[in-house]
Amino acid sequence: MNRLIALAAAVFSDALRRRVLWVVALFALVLAAAIPSLPSYGEGVDDAVYREISLSLVYVAAMVVALVLAATRIPAELERRTAYTVLVRPVRRWEYVTGTWLGIAATMAVACAMFGAIVFATGWVVYGAPMPVLWQAVAAIWMEACVVAALCVAASTMLSAATVAVLALGFLFVAHVRADLLGGPGNPLWRFYPSLDTFNIIAPVAHGSGVSASYLLVMALVFAAWVGLLMLAAGAAFSRRDV
Amino acid sequence: MSKTPGGIAIEIQGAAKRFGGSKGRVAVEDVGLKVTVGSVHGLLGPNGAGKTTTLKMLLGLVGPDAGEFRILGEPNGPTARAYVGFLPEQPYFPPLLTALELLTLHGRLSGMASGDVAVRARELLDRVGLAGREAERLAKYSRGMLQRVGIAQALVASPEVVVLDEPASGLDPVGQRDVRNLMMELKDAGTTVLLSSHQLSEVEAVCDEVTILNRGRVSAKGAIDDLLNVAGRTSVRARGEARSLPAEIQALMEDVAVSGSVWVFSVPDSTVRTVVDLLDDSGWAIESVLPKRQSLEEYFSRMLERTESEVVS
C-alpha cells in the first residue's frame, strides 16, 4: 500500500504542475462566467438551462484533462526512460499502473472540484441561491473521467499516446449511444454493452432534484467494477511487456 | 548463497534474449556472470554487445527467453530488487519533480519511512554536490546534475548491490573522479558494485573482476590482474646516463620505451636476475621490477579482434 501511495503522490505532484490543468480551468472559468450573458438568456433566465450547460462544460473540461494526463503518462515515462528507475525498485507492474491511475484520479478530483466550484460560485452569484445538487453531477463526471483515465492507462501499457487518445474518444462515443444502437433494455445485448450511461446524471440534476442515495451507490459500484477490470487488464498486459 | 564477503551477490546463468520473435536479432546468448559480495565487477563490451540487455534482464525490465538470475540468492523479482540500487545510462527523471521529491519517491518505493527518507535524501544530495538545490525542479538541472541526482537515487535505500550503467557519462573530470571515489567508498563499505562502462581507465582503476561481452556472448571473464598480466614476462624500469643498454640485455628485451634517461622494457621472467645484475654492474639505477601488464584498452582491443570461433562461454 505504501508503494501505491508513493507512486500516486509522485504522479499527483507532477500532474498538478502541468499547464494543461490550469489552462483548462481558466477556460472553464471564462465560459462559466459567460453562460448567463448568452443571447438566449433574457429576462427570467432558467437556472436549469444554466446547470445543464455548465455541467456539460465541466464534463468536456474533465474529459480533456483525463485524456491528456492518462493517455500520455506511461508512454512518456517509457519513452523518456523515467520508468526504469521506478520499475527496478521492489515494485510490481500492477502496482505501477495502479499507482499511476490513483495519482491521476486524485488530480482529477482536484480538477473536478475546481471546475465544480467555478460553476457553483457563478450560479450562486448570478441566480442568488446556491445549487448544491450540482455536486452530484460533478461527482458523477469525476467517476466517468476516472474510468476513461483507467482505460487510457490500461491501453497505454501497449499503445502509443496518440492511439490511446483516439481509442478513448471512440470508447466515449460508443459508451453513450447504447440506447440509440440497441433500442432499450429488451435487447438481449443491453446488459453486456460497454455503457457509461450510469454516470450521465446531468438531466436529473439540471431539470430535477438530482438522484437518490441508492443510485449514487449503484454508480459507485459500477465505477469500482470498471476501474477494477481495467486495472486488472493493465497489470496483466504491462507485466508481459519489455521496457 | 551468502551475503557475507566471498559469497555470490549476483549470479546469471545461461541468459538469452532474442528481439523480434524466433527469427529476430539475438541480443544475448548463453551469458553467465558471477559477482562476489563486496567486489566491483566491470561489464564491458562494444556497442550492441548485450550489456544493457543483460542488465535489464537481471533487473526485471526485460523478460529473458532463458536463463537464471539471482541477487543475493533471491531469484529476480521484487524481493531481489529490494537489495539493488540502479543508475541507468543517461538517467532521465520526471522534470516537474524536485530532487528531494524524487529521492523521497525512490526511498518510499524501497520501503523506507518518510522521516528516514528525508534525512537520507539530504545527506546524499550533499554527498553528490547538490546541497541547496534540492527544492529545484529537475527540468532546471544540467546533464551532469541529473547524473549526480541519479547516483543519489541509486543509493537512497542503502542498497547492498549497486548496478551502475555508465555512471561517469556526462560528468566533467572532477565529477568522474568523484564517481570513482564513490565506487571505492562503496567497495570499502562492503557494497557490491556491477559497473557497465565504456571508460576502460575507470574500469581498470576500480574493478576487481571483469566480464567482457561481444556479439551477445561472453568473450572473456576473470580477475582483472589475471587478464592483464602478461604471462612469463617482467617489466623493468631503469635510469642511467648511458646511451644504450648492455648488449646482453638488448638481446632479451621487448616493448622498449625511452623517455630521457629512463628506459622501460620487458624481459622473460627467467632472465630477470641476470638482467638486474647486468644493469647494476653497468651503473644503472633500477627504479622498478614488476610483472608485465598490458592496459585494459590494449587487452580489450585485441580481444575484439579475435574471431568468433575463439569466443568462450
Helix (H, G, I), strand (E, B) or coil at B232: strand
Cβ neighbours for A34, distance < 8 A, ≥ 6 positions apart: none
Is the ipTM higher than 0.85? The answer is no
- Nearest-CA distance B311 → chain A (Å): 28
| B153 contact residues in A (CB cutoff 8 A) | 85
If asked whether residues B60 and B186 sit together in one domain, one would say: yes
Q: How many CA atoms lie within 13 A of A153 on its CB side?
A: 34
Q: What is the pLDDT of residues A1-40, one digit of tens each?
A: 789 999 999 999 999 998 888 898 888 888 877 877 766 5
User: Do residues A150 and A97 lie in contact, with contact meaning Cβ atoms separated by under 8 Å?
Assistant: no
**pLDDT, tens digit, for every residue of B55-95?**
999 999 999 999 999 999 999 889 999 999 999 887 788 88
- On chain B, the residues whose CB falls within 8 A of the CB of A80 are 92
- Interatomic CA distance for residues A75 and A48, integer angstroms: 41
Residue B284 contacts residue B242 (beta carbons within 8 Å): yes
Write the pLDDT tens digit of every residue in A122-149. 888 888 889 999 999 999 999 999 999 9
Same domain, B170 and B245: no
Strands (E), chain A: none
Q: Is residue B208 within 8 Å of residue B34, measured between CB atoms?
A: no
CA dist B12 and A45 (Å) reads 75
In a domain, B106, yes or no: yes
Per-residue burial over A130-161, b = 16 or more CB atoms within 10 Å of its CB, e = otherwise? ebebbbbbbbbbbbbbbbbbbbbbbbbbbbeb
CATH number of the domain at B87, please.
3.40.50.300
From edge to edge, which strands make up the β-sheet containing B74-75?
Answer: B25-36, B8-19, B66-71, B74-75
Please tell me whether residues B130 and B272 are part of one structural domain: no
Cβ B61–A84 below 8 Å, yes or no? yes
pLDDT at residue B26 tops 80: yes
**B201 lies in the same domain as B124:** yes
> How many domains is chain B built from?
2
In contact, B102 and B176? CB cutoff 8 Å: no
Of B194, B226, B258, the domain-final residue: B226
Query: pLDDT tens digit string along B282-304?
Result: 899 999 998 888 778 777 777 77
Residue B312: which pLDDT band, with cuts at 50, 70 and 90? very low
Domain check: are B49 and B171 in the same one?
yes
Same-domain status, B221 and B239: no
CATH code (residue B270): 3.30.70
User: What separation in angstroms does the CA of B190 have from each of A59, A123, A162, B193?
Assistant: 57, 66, 48, 9
pLDDT for B157-199, tens place per residue? 999 999 998 888 777 888 788 888 888 888 888 899 999 988 7
Task: State the cell numbers at A26.
Answer: 481558466
Same domain, B286 and B185: no
* B196 and B257 co-located in one domain: no
Residue B29 lies in a domain: yes
Any domain includes B301: no
Give the relative orientation of helices A93-127 and A47-79 as an angle to the nearest 10 degrees. Answer: 150
Whether B150 sits inside 8 A of A85 (CB atoms) is: yes
User: Are B149 and B286 in a shared domain?
Assistant: no
Instruction: Spell out which residues of chain A touch residue B105, defining contact as CB-CB under 8 Å.
Output: 6-7, 9-10, 86
Residue B103 belongs to some domain of the structure: yes
Q: Which domain holds residue B98?
A: 8-226
Nine cell digits for residue B50: 548485450
A242/B106 CB distance under 8 A: no
State whether B105 and A6 contact (CB < 8 Å).
Answer: yes
Which positions in chain A touch B62 (Cβ < 8 Å)? Answer: 242-243
* Whole-number pLDDT of residue B228: 77
Single residue among B210, B226, B242 that ends a domain in this structure: B226
A66 vs A46: which has the higher pLDDT: A66
Give strand pairing partners of B264.
B237, B257
With respect to residue B71, please indicate whether it lies within any of the assigned structural domains. Answer: yes
Asked if residue B185 and residue B86 are part of one domain, the reply reads yes
Q: What would the grid cell of residue B73 be?
A: 540468492
B238 shares a domain with B126? no
**CB-based contacts of A57, cutoff 8 Å, min separation 6:** A28, A31, A32, A35, A115, A119
Confidence at residue B1, expressed as pLDDT on a 0 to 100 scale: 47
Strand partners, B265: B236
Q: For residue B116, is it within any domain?
A: yes
Residue B24 inside a domain? The answer is yes
Q: Strand B254-259 and strand B8-19: pairing?
A: unpaired
Q: Do residues B119 and B218 both lie within one domain?
A: yes
